[in-house]
């Protein structure tokens, strides 16, 4: 089974963002690591091997030279090989363009299953997995809290909020995005570290994927950023004091606003 894992590099910690003059996020100076969700995605790919024969995992990322670190981590965690889509023209790509490139890469690799971590909220990329599935015209199963892959079928457990839980099934090939609830990835053995150095990272350009540079990057963006303003630290937000009744009402409002009631 051919598994393609789409991975991305994220800053290693909660640091203040810096924005380049063109208002794109400046990732140049930040230390980056493989995102937690993607680690789990690679690990889930490995776990398939228990039920499915001949699992071949390819990690794919799109990004600047530094994104190669994320691929190395994916290889160390057990991916068999990796593809780095590196092209000057990709700078400033929005979600739509990102999905175009990733879908083209997955199609070129030929896949039975595309796995990716669900992007953390407010990364601006949370809709990418759904876009990739749509572009590949295969079923998309998103936000899987549990993943079960059989020879020709994939099943996920998913929490829809409001206490609704569903089990969804689709035939392969499919795109699945998973959440961190799938469980911590196993810690790699030392041999994997040694082996990872030998594994191949191919570099593809837009030309490799036959994508017109005008469709991606800043030029091809369907959205533009007008302004970026620092707001307030993420947390803490609000601290309320007062008598128990009014704070309880305030709490209930808060929960209701977020659809937890």
Partner 1 sequence: MRQVLVLAEGTTGTRRATCALLTVARRLGAPAVVLGGPADPAGTALLGRFGAKTIYPMPAPGPGGQSAAARVEMLVELARRTSPAAILIASGRDGLEIAGRVGVRLDSGVLSDVVDVLDGPVAVQSVRGGSYLVRSRVVRGVPVLAVRTEHITVVPDPATPAVRQVRVAFPAGVYAVRTVRPRTGRTSASPELSTAAVVVTGGRGVGSRAAFDLVNRLAEALGGAAGGSHTATELGWCPRKALVDQVGTIVHPSLYLALGVSGSQRHCAGMRGAATIVAIDSDPAAPIFRLSDLGVVGDVHQVVPELLAEIERRRAQPVISTRTVTEA
Partner 2 sequence: MTVRLVLGVAIALAAFAVAGRRILLLGRLGMSGQPAEPGRTRGVGGRALALVSEVLGQRKLLKWTVPGAAHFAVFWGFTILFATIVEGFGALFDRDFHIPLIGTHAWLGFLEDTFIVAVLCALAVFAVIRLTQSPQRRGRRSRFFGSHLGPAWLVLFMIFNVMWTLLLYRGAQINTGNFPFSYGAFASEAVARLLAPAGRTANDVLETVGLLASLGVVLAFLVLVLYSKHLHIFLAPLNVAFSRRPRALGALLPVYSGGREVDFEDPDEDDKIGRGVIEDFTWKGMLDFGTCTECGRCQSQCPAWNTGKPLNPKLLIMGLRDHAMAKAPYLLDAGQTNADVLAEAGRPLVGTPDEGGVIDPDVLWSCVTCGACVEQCPVDIEHVDHIVDMRRYQVLIESQFPKEAHTMLRNLERAGDPWGRGARARLEWTAGLPFEVRVLDGGKLPADIEYLLWVGCAGALDENAKKTTRAVAELLHEAGVEFMVLGGEETCTGDAARRLGQEVLFQELAKQNVEKLDAAGVKRIVVTCAHCFNALGNEYPQLGGVYEVLHHTQLLSRLVAEGRLVPEHPVEAAVTYHDPCYLGRHNRVFDPPRDILGNVPGLQLTEMPRHRETSFCCGAGGARMWMEETIGTRINETRTDEALATGADVIAAACPYCIVMLTDGTATRKQEGRAPEDVQVVDVSRLLLRAVRPAGSPPSEKE
Q: Which residues bind to partner 2, rule: CB under 8 A?
A: 12-15, 33, 184, 186-191, 193-194
* 239: partner contacted, choices partner 2, partner 1, none (Cβ within 5-8 A by kind): partner 1
**Pairing mode of beta strands 32-34, 140-149:** unpaired
Closest distance of CB 131 from partner 2, Å = 28
Q: Which residues pair with 32 in a beta bridge?
A: 11
Quick one: 71 or 132, whose CB is closer to partner 1?
Answer: 132
Q: Which two tokens mark 177?
A: 């995005």
For the chain, the distance separating the N- and C-terminal CA atoms, rounded to the nearest angstrom, is: 42
Closest distance of CB 14 from partner 1, Å = 8
Closest distance of CB 238 from partner 2, Å = 21
The answer to whether 25 touches 47, Cβ cutoff 8 Å, is: no
C-alpha count within 13 angstroms, C-beta hemisphere, residue 186: 10
* 193: partner contacted, choices partner 1, partner 2, none (Cβ within 5-8 A by kind): partner 2
Closest distance of CB 77 from partner 2, Å = 11
* 250: partner contacted, choices partner 2, partner 1, none (Cβ within 5-8 A by kind): partner 1
**Pairing mode of beta strands 56-62, 81-85:** parallel
Structural element, H or E, at residue 100: helix 95-109
Quick one: 13 or 160, whose CB is closer to partner 2?
Answer: 13
Closest distance of CB 244 from partner 2, Å = 24
The answer to whether 68 touches 13, Cβ cutoff 8 Å, is: no
Q: Which two tokens mark 96?
A: 């739509």
Q: Which two tokens mark 151?
A: 């020879």
Quick one: 187 or 190, whose CB is closer to partner 1?
Answer: 187
* 50: partner contacted, choices partner 2, partner 1, none (Cβ within 5-8 A by kind): none
* 52: partner contacted, choices partner 2, partner 1, none (Cβ within 5-8 A by kind): none
């Amino acid at each position: 089974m051919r598994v393609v894992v789409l991975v991305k590099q994220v800053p290693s910690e909660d640091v203040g963002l810096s924005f380049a003059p063109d208002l794109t996020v400046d990732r140049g100076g930040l230390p980056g690591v493989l995102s937690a969700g993607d680690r789990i995605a690679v690990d889930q790919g490995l776990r398939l091997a228990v039920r499915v024969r001949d699992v071949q995992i390819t990690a794919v990322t799109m990004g600047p030279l530094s994104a190669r670190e994320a691929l190395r981590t994916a290889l160390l965690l057990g991916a068999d090989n990796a593809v780095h889509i590196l092209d000057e023209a990709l700078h400033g790509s929005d979600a739509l363009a990102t999905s175009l490139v990733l879908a083209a890469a997955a199609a070129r690799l030929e896949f039975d299953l595309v796995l990716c971590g669900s992007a953390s909220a407010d990364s601006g990329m949370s809709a990418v997995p759904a876009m990739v599935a749509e572009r590949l015209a295969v079923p998309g199963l998103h936000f899987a809290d549990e993943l079960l892959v059989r020879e020709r079928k994939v099943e996920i457990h998913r929490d829809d909020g409001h206490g609704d839980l569903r089990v969804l099934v689709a035939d392969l090939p499919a795109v699945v995005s998973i959440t961190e609830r799938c469980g911590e990835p196993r810690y790699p053995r030392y041999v994997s570290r040694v082996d990872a150095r030998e594994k191949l990272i191919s570099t593809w350009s837009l030309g490799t994927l036959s994508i017109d540079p005008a469709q991606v990057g800043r030029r091809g963006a369907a959205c533009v950023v007008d302004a970026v303003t620092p707001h307030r630290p993420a947390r803490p937000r609000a601290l309320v004091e007062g008598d128990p009744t009014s704070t309880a009402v305030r709490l209930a409002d808060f929960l209701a606003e977020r659809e937890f009631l």
